[in-house]
Structure 1
Amino acid sequence: MLMHSILIILVIILTTYFTRIWPFMVFNAKNPPNDFVRYLGRALSCSVIGMLVVYCFKDIQILKPPYGINEIIAFLSVILLHRIFKVFVLSITLPTILYMVLVRSHALEKAFFNP
């Protein structure tokens, strides 16, 4: 059983490593990416933010506390951070962490909606 678990972990490590290193092996100084691949690099960053917005708002229950306020705060933080810094990774990561903290800690429910 232990050997089986070690093999599974090894396969996961190798697969992850290969998927991370593959673009650098394919696209290098001798073989730069074509225009379509560069376009995808620019366009997909915006798509990730759009997907996160849809995911964030899909389960809002506006008739139950906290009435979607967690989601609205996270959404506004995405807009604010992207307007200020224009760094996609920052605009995605920090609001996601903020949203998860708000949801998991129930901070707004405890502060405003707890009788």
Structure 2
Amino acid sequence: MHELGLMTGVMDAAVKAAREAGAVRLLSVKLSIGEANEAVEDALFFAFDALAAADPFTERAVLDLTMVRPRSICLECGEEFEHDLYSRLCPACDSFATELVAGRELSIESIEVDLPES
């Protein structure tokens, strides 16, 4: 289950950024992850919830997850197209010469924190 490893890295980065901002609590993490990472969406939520529950700083945090579909560009005709994990054949010219341009990313888009009252 590599989802736990992915979420550990995400949680570590989000907590570090939240603490550096002076937050008293991490409330949410907005994450985009490409389907080509082959992470299971339910397992990502499960791993995030398990990690969040382990620390009072993160125990109420929620995950806002966007799964990004794989998208490639044809190196022969320039067609850009979405596809599943395994079919990267260009739908316009049937070329196998394609390059993945989206679907492998892992990006923390934003975090929401609770700051101390001044």
Same fold (TM over 0.5): no
TM-score, with length taken from structure 1: 0.27
Select the structure with the greater relative contact order (CA < 8 A; seq sep ≥ 6). Answer: 2
TM-score, with length taken from structure 2: 0.27
Q: Report the structure, 1 or 2, having the larger strand content.
A: 2
Q: Report the structure, 1 or 2, having the larger helix content.
A: 1
